[in-house]
Amino acid sequence: METPKNEVKTDVCIVGAGPAGMLLGLLLAKQGINVIVLEKNADFHREYRGEITQPRFVQMMKQLNLLDYIESHDHVKINEVVVFHDHKEIMQLSFDTLIDEESYCARLTQPTMLAALLEKARHYPNFKLLFNTKVKDLIKDGDKIIGVHAVRTAGDSTNAEELAEEGEFDIRAAVTVAVDGRNSTMEKLAGFELDLDYYVNDLLWFSFEKPESWDYNIYHFYFQKNYNYLFLPKLGGLIQCGISLTRGEFQKIKEEGIEAFKSRILEDLPILKPYVEPMEDFKSFVLLLCKMRYVKDWAKDGCLLIGDAAHCVTPWGAVGSTLAMGTAIIAADVIYKGFRTGDLSLETLKQVQARRKDEVKMIQNLQVTLERFLTREPVKKDLAPHIFSICTKLPDITDTYKRLYTREKPLDIDPSFVFAD
């Protein structure tokens, strides 16, 4: 490799400016650690990306004293989940019943969440963010990863004017953290191995204007004849609908044509007629592959994977963003203490996975169980809502919901991460 025109040194290089990457950058910058965050896109704007945060997110933000700040930005609170089978209610769960404090899900658009974290991070001159910057290769010293080789096109930056020119450059860092999502470039470049690669369902998303009769603060789920549906409130007076499909089913639906698809949807849910009937093609729909992945070892010498890059979950339960941000908080604690003690060895970085693996695997196992209820195989499809209804009446079901949506105790992190009022 030719010697790059520019070389930059920092303490931590974070690849990926999603919620977990931005939170990690903010927390490390608060501790006086020099951070450069690289984002391949030109801005924060995303669609159908990690917008639901769970009660455990509310608990974590309270612990950091960031909740009031986050909720000063535009958001919607979701107070309960209601499940229907053929329009008959079979389950209702209020999040307030799970823990002895106010409990709810919050929906913030991803651009809103990321802009809020950036606004906070701007106060620290040791925090730098570069948009339009892609990692092309790793920099190594033997087997140790000591940074990345990146290329940048014109775009915005924060506290990084000296890095704002276009072109190739190297970033050398004591720790490089990959937070670049389920299709992680860093995972491939560094040769991380998968321990789990699970994929059986897809979700087909579209949005429509909220009907007047719909409660805006409820997460609805419908078991219906043709498909299973989930409905989430969306900012701007909209509702987001997800249609559960089997893996690869959407291609067959497109081959049959939009009219046949619309007919099946309206047979299930006639209330959607004003929104579905005018559709002339599939342009309103966005397909999300419900992949679940788990990287065998999240750390290599000098490099750490977190968030979806390390432990991707499916959209069911809408826990992915919250889970990733929990890992970011623990990663910040481990890295901060590593700088404080002068020990950023592989064994130190491995502590992140050691501290997070039980919660991540518990969530993934619950999701696999949930997806079994969502199967469209004829026999299982007919039995699923009845089994689901019975399960909701079992004595230990509340404990299952608690494990999925809340934290039993605060994260074990250094108190210096708590923000002042």
Span 264-292, pLDDT tens digits: 999 999 999 999 999 999 999 999 999 99
Question: Could you tell me the two tokens for 38?
Answer: 């690289």
Give mean pLDDT, residues 350-376. Answer: 86
Looking at the domain assignment, is residue 138 inside a domain?
yes
Domain-located, residue 297: yes
- Asked whether residue 93 is assigned to any structural domain, the reply reads no
Q: How large a percentage of the chain has pLDDT more than 90?
A: 65
Q: Which residues contact 47 (CB under 8 A, 6 or more apart)?
A: 286
Domain presence at residue 268: no
Residue 224: inside a domain: no
The DSSP line for 42-108 is SSS--SSSS-EE-HHHHHHHHHHT-HHHHTTSS-EEE-EEEEEETTEEEEEEEGGGTSSS---EEE-
> Please, which residues have CB within 8 angstroms of residue 131's CB and are 6 or more apart in sequence?
17, 39, 41, 42, 43, 155, 156, 157
* pLDDT confidence tier of residue 350, bands split at 50, 70 and 90: very high
Identify whether the C-beta of residue 187 lies closer than 8 Å to the C-beta of residue 27: no
The pair of three-digit structure tokens given for residue 32, joined into one six-digit string: 């006086």
94 within some domain? no
**HEC assignment per residue over 262-319:** HHHHHHHCHHHHHHHCCCCCCCCCEEEEEEEEEECCCEECCEEECCHHHHECCCCCCC
> What is the count of structural domains for the chain?
1
**What range defines the domain where residue 332 resides?**
6-77+105-195+292-378+397-410
The amino acid at residue 379 is V
Q: Say if 282 falls within a structural domain.
A: no
Domain of residue 51, CATH code: 3.50.50.60
* Residues 95-153 pLDDT 10s: 888 777 778 888 888 899 999 999 999 999 999 999 999 999 999 999 999 999 999 98
206 domain-assigned: no
